[in-house]
Amino acid sequence: MKEETQQQWLQTAQQFQQSMVDTWGKAFESFKNMDLGQAGAKLMAPTTKPPQVSFSPDKLQELQQQFLKDATELWNNSFKGEHVLKDRRFADPAWAANPMAAFTAAAYLLNAKTLAAMADAVETDDKTRARIRFTVEQLTAAAAPSNFMALNAEAQKKALDTNGESISKGLQNLLHDMQQGHISMTDESLFHVGQNVATTEGAVVFENEFFQLIEYKPLTDKVYEKPFLLVPPCINKFYILDLQPDNSVVRYAVAQGHRTFLVSWRNPDASLAKATWDDYIENAVIKAITVTQEVSGAKTINALGFCVGGTMLGTALAVLAARGEKPVASATFLTSMLDFSDTGVLDLFIDEAFVSYRELEMGKGGLMKGGDLATTFSFLRPNDLVWNYVVGNYLKGETPPPFDLLYWNSDSTNLPGPFYAWYLRNTYLENKLTKPGQATVCGQKVDLGKVDMPVYIYGSREDHIVPINGAYATTQYLPGKKRFVMGASGHIAGVINPPAKNKRCYWVRDDDKLPKTHDEWMQGAVEHPGSWWTDWSTWLAAQAGKQIAAPKTYGKGKHKVIEPAPGRYVLAKA
């Protein structure tokens, strides 16, 4: 490179870097107003006062020097045609084969890396720094050249190779997704609830305005005397636990000889706009426990709560304990939080101003739209759950492959506003469930120290919704005998890991010791290949009592069959 040209490039690069520094003080303001779609706009609320943001001059100089070094290397590599694009968005050979596209991608990666480093260098409180980092991740993810037809070499090549057919198909996909109101993550036309997902045979034996209770048909001649009740999250449809026969938690439990019941939540509409957390605990979780006892004739049952369902189950058990009632013999908590000290990336959105805004907006009535919630969770992983599908569906004209889990992920549910507002304040903001007597639910003071029963606690190592530290923290509050297990992968894929597939791995401690922190627990943990389901099955069988003859019919007494599983509640769309 000629010295004059190099100097011009360095000067341009330095000016660009300085402009980023000069404008960075406005980053938090743009964060509050940035557009993440309808959900993102509704998610953010104004803070009471602007945060204090500054930079260390030495750190800025260090970042600038590194940027200039990397920019010079990028410029030199552009003449040699040697750009190394270590990012799967630019992995297709079409990027490397097009010098301009390769340079654009390399320059983007350099700028994204520099902006991320600047976010980490901000001198401010931890929460503001995390919010700025999140903002940068969102903006750089959206600005990737792979997201634009004019810059995406792979999409352009496909358009040429297909004589424009991929563009036509992409426009069709875009119009289809605009009509349905969300980005297609899978070919949704291939899935039908009750036909090829949620297919475990059973019947609805109870319903009220909040839920239907499904009883499943036994697959064994004998069943354990203590029935088994599953409480899925009301923020989603229940069939994440009953996708297809080979990956169904429900079917697995039934096949292991458990007389299995499940809560199928109603998808709230205007008639439930004023429903509260107390309503859901009393009239849904506790009611489901009672009906399961009545149908089975058992004095006590075993129960499982998944995600928010685990939080609700733990709350219900504390309410029952305060009343002197212990109808549940053992509990399983899957990727659930009772202690909200470590909420991971979701903590970015929670502060007094945001919660107060939500209380004002819908604390007395209203609905938190399921589509908004779904979009928000997708943007927690924007490259994987948003832009990946924008590129594939619209720029390359591809139909995403069939995937039952992603079909479920797109089948969103609403939440009643008062329920949602109570949940935000009492868990994420004030963490009251872990403070004896601080939270009052159904007229009772919540004290997890009274929830004395054997419990099985599962957390996923890479969970971005219930961080592993948050899942582990439950071990420190429940007084009964506890077993903690950590699985590989994330919030959903870690849980839905059937033994037959022989995938992933899990960790346990043979001594069952539960030190104060997860890091300490890991020091004595042993890795095992395959699914944690087998470990859990052994544990649950030990809690289930003797085996008795399997029932020949559904329901009992006043609890008669209403309709076949999966029932009509799960079919309602948000």
The DSSP secondary structure of 401-458, one letter per residue, reads: PP-HHHHHHHS---EEHHHHHHHIIIIIIT-GGGSTTT-EETTEE--GGG--S-EEEE
Tell me: do 280 and 392 sit in the same domain.
no
Residue 307 reports pLDDT greater than 60? yes
**Mean pLDDT across the stretch 353-377?**
91
Q: What was the pLDDT predicted at 427? A: 97
Higher-pLDDT residue of 32, 390: 390
Nearest to 42 by CA among 381, 373, 509: 373
CB 494 within 8 A of CB 504: yes
Residue 346 lies in a domain: yes
Tell me: do 525 and 408 sit in the same domain.
no
Residue pLDDT, tens place only, 49-106? 667 778 888 888 999 899 989 888 888 887 777 777 889 999 999 999 998 899 999 9
Q: What was the pLDDT predicted at 550? A: 98
Residue 462's Cβ-side half-sphere holds a number of Cα atoms within 13 Å equal to 9
d(CA 56, CA 62): 10
Tell me: do 97 and 187 sit in the same domain.
no
Residue 126 — pLDDT band, cuts 50, 70, 90?
confident
Residue 362 lies in a domain: yes
Residue 572 lies in a domain: no
Does residue 442 carry a catalytic annotation?
Answer: no
Residue 8 lies in a domain: yes
Q: What was the pLDDT predicted at 35? A: 35
Q: What is the pTM of this model?
A: 0.87
Tell me the sheet residues that pair with 334. 306, 458
Number of domains within the chain: 3
d(CA 567, CA 547): 29
Residue pLDDT, tens place only, 128-168? 898 999 999 999 999 999 999 999 999 999 999 999 999 99
**Mean pLDDT across the stretch 546-555?**
97
Residue 574 lies in a domain: no
**Mean pLDDT across the stretch 1-8?**
45
List of E strands, 227-345: 228-231, 260-265, 301-306, 328-334
Tell me the sheet residues that pair with 212. 207, 264
Task: Give me the catalytic one of 234, 307, 442, 505.
Answer: 307
Phi-psi category of 443—alpha, beta or left, where left has phi over 0 and alpha has psi -120 to 50?
left
d(CA 487, CA 175): 39
Q: What was the pLDDT predicted at 49? A: 62
Tell me: do 506 and 398 sit in the same domain.
no
d(CA 356, CA 360): 6
Tell me: do 150 and 30 sit in the same domain.
yes
Residue 215 lies in a domain: yes
**Mean pLDDT across the stretch 32-39?**
35
Among 31-45, 116-130, 282-296, 402-416, the range of highest mean pLDDT: 282-296
Residue 372 reports pLDDT greater than 90? no
Tell me: do 153 and 279 sit in the same domain.
no
Residue 514 reports pLDDT greater than 50? yes
The region of weakest confidence among 106-120, 295-309, 321-335, 434-448 is 106-120
Give every strand in the sheet of 328-334, ordered side by side: 526-529, 505-508, 482-487, 455-460, 328-334, 301-306, 228-231, 260-265, 211-216, 202-207, 563-564
Tell me: do 294 and 282 sit in the same domain.
yes
**Mean pLDDT across the stretch 509-513?**
93
Which residue in this structure is represented by tokens 């919660």? Answer: 355
Tell me: do 481 and 524 sit in the same domain.
yes
Q: What was the pLDDT predicted at 41? A: 37
For 574, residues 6+ apart whose C-beta sits below 8 A from its C-beta are: 267, 369, 370, 371, 412, 413, 414
Tell me: do 420 and 447 sit in the same domain.
yes
Tell me: do 91 and 168 sit in the same domain.
no
Residue 217 — pLDDT band, cuts 50, 70, 90?
very high
Residue 196 lies in a domain: no
Q: What was the pLDDT predicted at 557? A: 94
Residue 537 lies in a domain: yes
d(CA 97, CA 38): 38
Q: Domain range for residue 41?
A: 3-161
Tell me: do 260 and 400 sit in the same domain.
no
Tell me: do 40 and 151 sit in the same domain.
yes
Calculate the dihedral angle through the C-alpha atoms of 275, 202, 194, 287, rounding to the nearest 10 degrees.
Answer: 10
Residue 28 reports pLDDT greater than 50? no
